[in-house]
Amino acid sequence: MSSATEQQHLAGPLSASVANLCQRLQPQVSARTAAGFREVLRRLSAPLQVAVAGRIKSGKSTLVNALIGRRIAPTDVGECTRLVTRFQYGTVDRVELVFFDGTKQVLPFEVGGMIPADLEVDFDKVSHLEAYLTNAVLRDLTVIDTPGLGSLDLASVKRTELLLGAAKHRKEDGEEVEDDGDDELDDTSRNAVAGAEAVLYVVTQGVRADDQQALAAFTAATASREAGPVNAIAVLNKADTITPESVTGSDGDVWKAATLLAEKQAATLKPRVADVIPVIGLIAESAESGGFTSADADALRLLARLDDAVWETMLISADIFTSWECDVPTGTRVRLLEKLDLFGIRHAVDALRADPDLTAGALRRSLLDASGLAGVRSRLDAVFRARADGIKAAAALASVTALAHASGDPGERQRVHDAIEVLLAKPEAHQLRLLEALTLVTSGAVDMPDDLGEEVLRVGSNADVGEQLGMKGRPHNELAAYALERAGWWRSFASFGATPAQSRVAHVVHRAYFLIWQQLKAQTAS
Ligand SMILES: Nc1nc2c(ncn2[C@@H]2O[C@H](COP(=O)(O)OP(=O)(O)OP(=O)(O)O)[C@@H](O)[C@H]2O)c(=O)[nH]1
Ligand SMILES: [Mg+2]
């Protein structure tokens, strides 16, 4: 349990100061709370935990495969789509079934490297799957594939909740296990440290009112930590299935329609999520995971030679595409549909008609570009990777607070509370306060007038000073003057006119502006 090795993996200075706090407090708390702190420390040094969540069949597993660049998560059917699967970095590829009683069983990969869709075990006893992969993407992100929320299959919803939030030790007959030692975490403590740290929320065109509810349910599942613009982004998946005619202003273009729809959904889901990005998970998966082969490229080449009228007829529907009389065998056409769907097939054929010499590799890259995956990756980098330190530290602090609260010992609670206050008062921890304030406002826990809420959002969720001030590209002295002015405004708002809850937020925002001003002044001086 030496800190030296763990510190190397911490996401940054904020995580380090929270880790430090846990280590210092450990001897001063009960054995049970200390066990919770050890768990918090373990999580702090692990990669950021990102859950991919959303309604059933929204394409979560497909997107996970695309992000990892390997077709490993079963999609469509099978028992495994009803299980939570955690994809994490490992030196040897391996999949383990984890049972509720804590035992594990190694699963063989299927031919082709997938996790088997069906299991020859008592499904009811399975907690979740752990997949360890030698994969660069997973070095700093652990990706958690979840069964669909809003599903009628209550058992799998329960599984998601169990793993992400309310994980309980259960005996084989389903009864809860009694705690058998002081070092054991009880349920409350377990909840306090469980949960994903960030969410990639998958929605599709069907703008459902209850997606908001599902997002709230997910929030509940992340161990009572609020999801917000700091740690949640959404994708509008299956962009290829959007009928552009149904979206005004799309000019008949699918991507334009998807972009417009995504903006509309962002307005509904904000500020719960930082952004809604359109993507075609299926094409991304095929292009990124080796699913798209040179045999597929050859088949598309043949299709590209078809007469225009015939080709347009075939593209009317999947049924016509597969049943129409043509040189490419039906089985091959079914395979193309499964990998690219009609939109991808049309895109590939258009590309081949524009340049008949296109290699299979170039065609694959063109499909990848068309999938929009790069946009998702860059948002993941900007929102999650770049802020992993703050996100992890905030989640850990929330866990520490909850653990102290669950201890039931007022003295212990006070000691932990005091230590957190000392930590948060340090200038370098201000970022944590700001994240907390931002979450309070965006979740509605603290009510703010709209314009002020937006200002908190802008200051709290941008990394660049120009963007924080809403004055990107303006000269330094202007930025500095504005920061000082807003600092003054928020300070007087904190003292006059604000409710006590608003006042706490206002103090944090005041300090944020003040620190920005100091930083700008130092830059001007040097
Ligand atoms: N056309 C199209 N189909 C997609 C896309 N993404 C996924 N699909 C299809 O949608 C179906 C469901 O995909 P999954 O990835 O299994 O969805 P899921 O959300 O993981 O489903 P559950 O885990 O059962 O809730 C599959 O048939 C996919 O091929 C997409 O971008 N476009
Ligand atoms: Mg799935």
**Residue 381, pLDDT above cutoff 90:** no
Indicate the residue among 370, 389, 409 that finishes a domain.
370
> Which residue minimizes the CA distance to atom 21 of ligand 1?
57
> Which token pair is 405?
């609260």
As residues whose CB is below 5 A from the ion ligand 2, the structure lists 60-61, 81
Using the mean position of ligand 1's atoms as its centre, give its distance from the Cα of residue 238 in Å: 8
φ/ψ region of 497 (left if φ > 0, alpha if ψ in -120 to 50, else beta) reads left
> Which token pair is 257?
């329609």
The pLDDT-based confidence of 331 (bands split at 50, 70, 90) is very high
Which residues are CB-neighbours of 350 under 8 A, at least 6 positions away? Answer: none
Asked if residues 515 and 507 have their Cβ atoms less than 8 Å apart, the reply is no
Question: What pLDDT, in 10s, does the model give residues 114-140?
Answer: 888 887 888 788 888 899 999 999 998
Question: What's the Cα-to-Cα distance from 100 to each of 39, 166, 189, 267, 312, rounded to whole Å?
Answer: 18, 13, 17, 40, 53
Q: How many CA atoms lie within 13 A of 4 on its CB side?
A: 1
The answer as to whether 440 is a domain residue is no
In terms of residue numbers, what domain contains 505? 446-526
Q: Locate tokens 């939109």: which residue? A: 343
Give backbone dihedrals phi and psi of 364, rounded to 5 degrees, phi first. Answer: -60, -45
Q: Locate tokens 């307005």: which residue? A: 267
Q: What's residue 198's pLDDT?
A: 87
DSSP state of 242: -
Question: What pLDDT, in 10s, does the model give residues 146-164?
Answer: 877 655 556 666 666 665 5
Sign of CA dihedral 131, 135, 140, 141: negative
The answer as to whether 499 is a domain residue is yes
Question: What pLDDT, in 10s, does the model give residues 72-90?
Answer: 988 877 666 778 889 999 9
The answer as to whether 33 is a domain residue is no
Mean pLDDT across the chain, nearest whole number?
85
The answer as to whether 470 is a domain residue is yes
Instruction: Report how far residue 316's alpha carbon sits from residue 318's, in angstroms, rounded to the nearest whole number.
Output: 7
Using the mean position of ligand 2's atoms as its centre, give its distance from the Cα of residue 351 in Å: 31
Using DSSP's 3-state secondary structure scheme, residue 75 falls into coil
Q: Quote the Cα angle for 404-406-412, to 5°.
A: 35
Instruction: Report how far residue 493's alpha carbon sits from residue 503's, in angstroms, rounded to the nearest whole number.
Output: 7
Instruction: Output the CA torsion 411→225→19→456 (10° steps).
Output: -110
Which residue, 378, 278, 289, is CA-closest to 61? 289
Indicate the residue among 305, 339, 370 that finishes a domain.
370
Instruction: Report how far residue 423's alpha carbon sits from residue 126's, in angstroms, rounded to the nearest whole number.
Output: 40
Q: What's residue 161's pLDDT?
A: 60
The answer as to whether 452 is a domain residue is yes
Domain count, the chain: 2
> Which residue minimizes the CA distance to atom 17 of ligand 1?
59
Using the mean position of ligand 2's atoms as its centre, give its distance from the Cα of residue 342 in Å: 22
Using the mean position of ligand 1's atoms as its centre, give its distance from the Cα of residue 56 in Å: 9
Question: What's the Cα-to-Cα distance from 43 to each of 31, 243, 392, 439, 474, rounded to whole Å?
Answer: 19, 43, 8, 21, 40
Question: What pLDDT, in 10s, does the model give residues 403-432?
Answer: 888 888 899 999 999 999 999 888 778 888
What average pLDDT does this structure show over 164-173? Answer: 39
Instruction: Report how far residue 223's alpha carbon sits from residue 36's, in angstroms, rounded to the nearest whole number.
Output: 14
Q: What's residue 424's pLDDT?
A: 87
Which residues are CB-neighbours of 292 under 8 A, at least 6 positions away? Answer: 286, 339, 340, 363, 364, 367
3-state SS of the chain: helix, strand, coil percent to 5?
60, 10, 30
Q: Quote the Cα angle for 25-429-491, to 5°.
A: 125
Give percent above pLDDT 70 in the chain: 84
| Higher-confidence position of 230 and 43 | 43
Tell me which of 110-119, 200-209, 300-309, 510-519 is least confident: 200-209
Give backbone dihedrals phi and psi of 391, rounded to 5 degrees, phi first. Answer: -65, -45
* Ligand whose nearest atom lies closest to the CA of 342: 1
Q: Which atom of ligand 1 approaches the CA of 241 most closely?
A: 1
Using DSSP's 3-state secondary structure scheme, residue 253 falls into coil
> Which token pair is 45?
């040094």
Instruction: Report how far residue 284's alpha carbon sits from residue 499's, in angstroms, rounded to the nearest whole number.
Output: 48
The pLDDT-based confidence of 208 (bands split at 50, 70, 90) is low
> Which residue minimizes the CA distance to atom 26 of ligand 1?
76
Indicate the residue among 336, 355, 370 that finishes a domain.
370
Mutate to test the pocket of ligand 1, among 261, 282, 336, 376 (most ligand atoms within 8 A of CB): 282
| Higher-confidence position of 188 and 497 | 497
Q: What is the pTM of this model?
A: 0.84
The answer as to whether 324 is a domain residue is yes
Instruction: Report how far residue 403's alpha carbon sits from residue 190's, in angstroms, rounded to the nearest whole number.
Output: 9
Asked if residues 72 and 131 have their Cβ atoms less than 8 Å apart, the reply is yes
What average pLDDT does this structure show over 319-332? Answer: 94
The answer as to whether 184 is a domain residue is no
Instruction: Report how far residue 507's alpha carbon sits from residue 76's, in angstroms, rounded to the nearest whole number.
Output: 50
**Residue 302 CA to its chain's centroid (Å):** 40
Using the mean position of ligand 1's atoms as its centre, give its distance from the Cα of residue 76 in Å: 6
* Residues in the ligand 1 pocket, defined by CB under 6 Å: 56-62, 75-76, 81, 147-148, 237-238, 240-241, 280-282, 341
